[in-house]
Amino acid sequence: MKQWTAAVLASLALVAGSVHAQGSYTIGEINSYKAQPAFLMPYKQGMELAVEQINAAGGIHGKKLLLITRDDNANPGETVRAAEELITREKVDVLTGGFLSHLGLALTDFAKQKKRFYLASEPLTDKIVWQDGNHYTFRLRPSTWMQVAMLVPEAAKLNKKRWALVYPNYEYGQSAVATFKQLLKAAQPDVEFVAEQATPLGKVDAGSVVQALADAKPDAIFNVLFATDLAKFVREGNTRGLFEGRKVVSLLTGEPDYLDPLKAEAPVGWIVTGYPWYAIKTPEHQAFLQAYQKRFNDYPRAGSVVGYNAILSIAAGLKKAGSSETEKLIAAFEGLKVDTPFGPITYRAQDHQSTMGAYVGTTAVKDGKGVMVDFRYEDGAKFQPSDEEVKKLRPAGP
């Protein structure tokens, strides 16, 4: 672990003569901890581990990192108020966070209005870097477009004509389904979308949703539900036989944050994006896994990696910029390369999207719990629109 930490964090080491530097770089982070604990508590632990490792290595130019978090109660107004409080009262140097896409968009707009750097760590809607993208906002996780683009080739291979769609009825779900329709239609022109169930976030009526999908008699299903909505959908679908003889392609379902609570009820044979932490054998991930388990006496979830990578990214940006001044930090992030447990990633200058990828595989049940099998890592750099397409999608100017 010590050898890997030295390699990954070498650029963050204490520079000669800086031991007398005073103060710290303060990171203000806002998220829906109460509303989405399955993902966000491990996410917070990932952030804490990265902060501890960086500070143990001497910080950034002799300055330690300080992390201050706030809960947004899954409300856009609360999100903006928390951001304002972190800037005015806590005097934070940078903003990060966001889980639900509409809250990430609220922070994206806040960053633009206040002219402050913001790293959207988790929210997946494409609008954060495209339609609503701005000079001040960067995004870490692979977007809905990127993750759907990873799944569509597998969906097309199934050669199923009649597809049903189920998703949470807010920005993330709407964005994911729109992209799936667009990309699958391009890959398979004769495809038909025979049913569409848009459910209230966190309030899915699983019985009526499953019945409506079954009545449509689809050949395959594209699912975007997650967290408790996913669990209810899977259990009701199992009970009513919805998945028998039908292929399912599902966004995020392979993440242990959502798969583990289902235990032996986990779906079998679904094509998913996810995080098979138990079977990733690269040296970078093994070092992260060992450090995480030692620190928290628990295994990492997808959130753990996102939180960890967010802090590594901010630290690398501060190191490169030599300052937390907004314009210098933005300049540093454009083209910034960061070593992560998933390997190196880069923040694209053209749209401020990172090239962090995701694992694509198939779900199975092993030893009474859901796992991913036959998986592969898909590099996010391979699943991004061309520069010309990005120019059309992203507004000019700040």
How far is residue 107's CA from residue 121's CA, in Å, rounded to a whole number? 11
**Six-digit token pair at 172?**
């993330």
**Six-digit token pair at 95?**
């903003």
What are the pLDDT digits (tens) for 63-97?
999 999 999 999 999 999 999 999 999 999 999 99
How far is residue 161's CA from residue 158's CA, in Å, rounded to a whole number? 9
This prediction has a pTM of: 0.91
Domain 145-279+358-382 CATH superfamily? Response regulator (3.40.50.2300)
Burial class (CB in 10 A: 0-12, 13-18, 19+), 258: buried
Q: What is the pLDDT of residue 398?
A: 59
All CATH 3.40.50.2300 domain ranges of the chain, comma separated, are 2-142+281-357, 145-279+358-382
Phi-psi region of 187 (alpha: psi -120 to 50; beta: other; left: phi over 0): alpha
Classify each residue of 146-185 as buried b or exposed e, where b means 16 or more C-beta atoms within 10 Å of its C-beta: bbbbbbbeebeeeebeebbbbbbebbbbbbbbebbbebbe
Q: What is the pLDDT of residue 13?
A: 38
Q: What is the pLDDT of residue 271?
A: 98
Q: What is the pLDDT of residue 277?
A: 98
The answer to whether 57 and 13 are in contact (CB under 8 A) is yes
Q: What is the pLDDT of residue 10?
A: 42
Q: Is 388 helix (H, G, I), strand (E, B) or coil?
A: helix
Mean pLDDT by 10 residues, the chain (398 residues): 42 34 85 93 98 97 96 96 97 96 96 97 94 97 96 97 97 95 97 97 95 97 96 97 96 96 96 98 98 98 97 98 97 98 97 97 96 97 91 79
Q: What is the CATH number of domain 2-142+281-357?
A: 3.40.50.2300
